[in-house]
Amino acid sequence: SNIEQGEVLRWIEEQTMKLQKTSMLSGSLSASTLQSLIRMKGAKNVLEIGTYTGFTAIAMAAVASRVVTVDNFKAEPASEDVCREAIKMANVNVSIMKMDAKDALNCLVNEVKEPFDFVFIDGDKKEQIDYYEFLLKHPHLFDPKGVIAVDNTLWYSRVFQSDDKIGDEDTVAVRKFNDHIKRDPRTFVSIIPVRDGITL
């Protein structure tokens, strides 16, 4: 598929491979899917929670007016350098908030002048419900007619394992999140089986 900012995204892929954490990379299919969703929605103001080396931030900024991305870069400090260099190379409107996501949301709710109409969540799996609830409770921060896209909701297919076989906190957290939004009457939920699952 045609991907905006393809050359910069390929450069990010190469740099991420050097960090030996390619599993943290969303990939071209996810990038093109996010670009298509933003275009269909006509979204202009995008918030990203969790960016790593900036792959999805660059992809989304290529088709949106503005992207604010939040990451504390604790998982891999070197990823911050790749992210910042990629933003310069792409010459796109991406602002980085280097802090924990909950702190960033609390800052943004007081500072934002225009609500975000598209949010991509790819952060701490154990805090996803908190991010989701915070966004829905603050219409000044997140447009009630906007779209929330959440990555990794299939979680390597581990979410389908029986309870006694789940051995890690992230799998438990992803399953809790999936159950939480499935029962929530405030939103319409759909999952796209792209890569590791993107829930809208």
Q: In the prediction, which pLDDT does 64 show? A: 96
In a domain, 141, yes or no: yes
Q: In the prediction, which pLDDT does 1 show? A: 43
Q: In the prediction, which pLDDT does 156 show? A: 63
Question: What is the Cα–Cα distance from 107 to 26, expressed in whole angstroms?
Answer: 27
> What's the pTM value of the predicted model, to 2 decimals?
0.92
**What is the tally of structural domains in the chain?**
1
In a domain, 184, yes or no: yes
In a domain, 105, yes or no: yes
Query: What CATH number did the domain enclosing 120 receive?
Result: 3.40.50.150
Question: What is the Cα–Cα distance from 199 to 88, expressed in whole angstroms?
Answer: 30
In a domain, 1, yes or no: no
In a domain, 85, yes or no: yes
Domain of residue 64: give its range.
Answer: 6-199
In a domain, 195, yes or no: yes
Compute mean pLDDT per 10 residues along the chain, 200 residues long, and list them. Answer: 77 89 79 95 97 94 96 90 95 96 97 96 95 97 97 72 68 89 95 88
Q: In the prediction, which pLDDT does 91 show? A: 93
In a domain, 151, yes or no: yes
Q: In the prediction, which pLDDT does 171 show? A: 82
Q: In the prediction, which pLDDT does 98 show? A: 97
Q: In the prediction, which pLDDT does 164 show? A: 57
Looking at the DSSP bridge assignments, the partners of residue 121 are 49, 150
Alpha-carbon 93 to chain mean position? 16
In a domain, 13, yes or no: yes
155, with CB counted inside 10 A (0-12, 13-18, 19+), is: buried
